[in-house]
Amino acid sequence: MASRISELVLGCREPDVLARFWCEVLDFVVLDRLDDGTLEIGPRTGFGGAQPTIILSARAEPEPGKSRLHIDINATDRDQDAELERLLALGARPADIGQTGQEAWHVLVDPEGNEFCLLRARLKPL
């Protein structure tokens, strides 16, 4: 028997802002909202499906130091350049972490500065 990832948890100052961003990026919806402002977003089919949900956990201040976890995404219905344009229009910003410019991916940050990468390969939609 094995385990699988069911949720990713991201501490953030403004869960609503990141929920709007990541719901647009991933075609997710808000699945749950807790009294403390924490949000769970995920696929329209809800928790437990093929994709993990994302918990946007309300925090007054982010944890100190660089996060050791980031999200990699792949476009499903367009090429990498078109998806990059869409992500930038949604509020993503390029991040320089010492890339050479020859990488097959783009390093970006979301509206709160969390790093994520847009990979080159196009995946089939679920």
Interatomic CA distance for residues 11 and 72, integer angstroms: 17
Question: Quick one: pLDDT at residue 2?
Answer: 67
- pLDDT 10s digits, 25-36: 999 999 999 998
SS (H, E, C) 5-18: CCEEEEEECCHHHH
- pLDDT 10s digits, 39-75: 999 999 988 888 999 999 988 876 677 677 788 899 9
pLDDT band at 1 (very low <50, low <70, confident <90, very high): low
- Structure tokens of 125? 């939609």
Domains in the chain: ranges and CATH: 1-59 (3.10.180.10), 70-126 (3.10.180.10)
- pLDDT 10s digits, 77-114: 999 999 999 999 999 999 998 899 899 999 999 999 99
